[in-house]
Amino acid sequence: MGDFNQTVILDAIRRSGQGLSRVELVGAVGLAPQTVSNIVRRLLDAGLVTEAGKTSGGAGKPRTTLRVHAAGSYAVGVQLDPAVTTSVLLDLMGNVVARRIADTPHGNNPAQVLTAITSQVASLLTETGVDRGRVAGLGVATPGPIDRESGTVLDPPNLPGWHRVPLRSGLASSTGLPVLIEKDVSAAAAAEIWVSGRRSTPSFLFVYIGTGIGCAVALDGEVLHGVSGNAGEIGHLVTDASGPECSCGQRGCVAVTCTPRSLVRAAHGPGSAPAVPPGAPDSAITAAFLDICRSAVSGDEAAARLVDRAAVRTANAVATLAAVYDVDRVIFGGPFWSPLSARYLAAVPAALADRPVPGSRPIEVSATVLGEDVTAVGAACLVLDRALGPRRERLLLEG
Ligand SMILES: [Zn+2]
């Protein structure tokens, strides 16, 4: 359904808050009045916008205000993290109508994860009583690497046991919905653009803190996907040349200096947080990580030093990437961002100011406006984007 202009018009009405008249739309989007009028008619017929009364603006005919019909279309977004799975039902205004969050069961068993996602989605739709005919599809944000063309999860380092899993076709048949899959960090960046608008937040880095850490780059309102759709893998970017050894042969990679697991590992030692034995389940790592974060916030000096060191190392990676891509804004989010946020929002800007890359501009540091749901919301936004008007990028839905 629809075309790029239709997406632009729907976007403009959605972002206006109070709604727009046809005349105001012409001014806002720069399309011919007849084109605007035709597209608005289509949107009205499809139940995606409504006429919300008339306003008289002095001289001339009163104008009819157009608003997005929030219940005109929905999308389900799922974020699959090895430790935790989050699902949201998003309406056309981008409101989270319902959400579910649960530990990811047996993350190393794709069949069980698929079953868990299927039942989360079913319970979201049942609980809200939303008409399935109004659900545009299901977007799933997953750790990379993925093959976007075939909807396959390849062999993510944080999901042992996953090798070339056809997640998109599996979920399309188990849920009966059109499905798209996207790399987690790219979905999170897409959510930020969708909510804030391409004009207000065009270019930024999105640092995703989950079981793994990734960094999406958005330039001029578009998320960079790369040749294979797997841009954003920063696990082996060196943040501290004297840091711990990494399986890749280097020292001090992001993967061994900034992840929740690396914080827990670094906390082993006399008088520090409880040790987690090698091979312990993700839930044990999560519990120990949250314990460290809580201690850091409540004034435990050893825990605070650990978290701040990870923040400084993360800032090193950010400084390099911001210089490479010429961006002056970094947004943090992801399932394990919020426990770190209090200390990171102080330590990261300080570290960036301390060690500026020569010739670069100051970097603004902020947290996602969407909280813990950002990645799941992003997966749902991509579905709405795709269903309501194909964009230049190729996002393949299977249904
Ligand atoms: Zn490495």
CA of 80 to the centre of ligand 1 (A): 23
CA of 314 to the centre of ligand 1 (A): 14
Report which residue type is found at 39. I
Residue 275 or 54, more confident: 54
Distance CA 64, CA 25 (A): 11
The predicted structure's pLDDT at residue 57? 63
CA of 158 to the centre of ligand 1 (A): 14
Distance CA 196, CA 67 (A): 18
CA dihedral 359, 235, 378, 342 (to 10 degrees): -70
Which alpha helices (DSSP H) does the chain contain, by range?
A: 4-15, 22-29, 33-45, 110-128, 167-175, 184-196, 254-257, 260-267, 282-297, 301-325, 338-354, 374-388
CA of 262 to the centre of ligand 1 (A): 12
| Tokens encoding 349 | 């800007």
Per-residue pLDDT tens over the stretch 24-64: 999 988 889 999 999 999 999 989 999 988 777 666 777 89
The residue among 32, 23, 27, 45 whose CA lies nearest residue 5 is: 32
CA of 386 to the centre of ligand 1 (A): 35
The predicted structure's pLDDT at residue 197? 67
Q: Tell me the pLDDT band of 275, cut-offs 50, 70 and 90.
A: low
Residue 166 is classified by DSSP as: -
CA of 240 to the centre of ligand 1 (A): 11
CA of 245 to the centre of ligand 1 (A): 8
Q: Tell me the pLDDT band of 396, cut-offs 50, 70 and 90.
A: very low
Q: What's domain 4-68's architecture?
A: Orthogonal Bundle (1.10)
CA of 210 to the centre of ligand 1 (A): 17
CA of 235 to the centre of ligand 1 (A): 6
Q: Where in the chain is the domain with CATH 3.30.420.40?
A: 73-191+374-388, 199-368
CA of 116 to the centre of ligand 1 (A): 32
Residue 203 or 268, more confident: 203
CA of 135 to the centre of ligand 1 (A): 41
Q: Provide the CA 220 distance to its chain's centre, in angstroms.
A: 17
CA of 167 to the centre of ligand 1 (A): 27
Residue 180 or 274, more confident: 180
Q: Which residues pair with 329 in a beta bridge?
A: 364
Q: Tell me the pLDDT band of 388, cut-offs 50, 70 and 90.
A: confident
CA of 75 to the centre of ligand 1 (A): 37
CA of 162 to the centre of ligand 1 (A): 20
Per-residue pLDDT tens over the stretch 111-165: 999 999 999 999 999 999 999 999 999 999 999 999 988 999 999 988 888 999 9
Average pLDDT, the chain: 89
Ion ligand 1 neighbours (CB, 5 A) are 236, 246, 248, 250, 253
CA of 96 to the centre of ligand 1 (A): 37
CA of 319 to the centre of ligand 1 (A): 18
- The stretch 228-248 carries a mean pLDDT of 94
CA of 244 to the centre of ligand 1 (A): 10
The residue among 202, 166, 229, 180 whose CA lies nearest residue 76 is: 180
Q: The domain 73-191+374-388: what is its CATH number?
A: 3.30.420.40
Q: Tell me the pLDDT band of 386, cut-offs 50, 70 and 90.
A: confident
Judging by DSSP bridges, how do beta strands 204-209 and 213-219 pair with one another?
A: antiparallel
Question: With 60 as the cut, is the pLDDT of residue 185 above it?
Answer: yes
Per-residue pLDDT tens over the stretch 288-311: 999 999 999 999 999 999 999 999
Per-residue pLDDT tens over the stretch 5-15: 888 898 889 88
The predicted structure's pLDDT at residue 59? 67
Weakest mean pLDDT among 149-153, 185-189, 394-398:
394-398
Distance CA 37, CA 26 (A): 9
CA of 252 to the centre of ligand 1 (A): 7
Q: Tell me the pLDDT band of 269, cut-offs 50, 70 and 90.
A: low
Q: Tell me the pLDDT band of 271, cut-offs 50, 70 and 90.
A: low
Question: With 50 as the cut, is the pLDDT of residue 395 above it?
Answer: no
Contact 101, 88 (CB under 8 A): no
Question: With 70 as the cut, is the pLDDT of residue 72 above it?
Answer: yes
CA of 233 to the centre of ligand 1 (A): 11
CA of 317 to the centre of ligand 1 (A): 13
CA of 333 to the centre of ligand 1 (A): 22
Q: Tell me the pLDDT band of 392, cut-offs 50, 70 and 90.
A: very low
Instruction: Report the topology of domain 199-368.
Output: Nucleotidyltransferase; domain 5 (3.30.420)
* Percent above pLDDT 70 for the chain: 91
Q: Tell me the pLDDT band of 398, cut-offs 50, 70 and 90.
A: very low
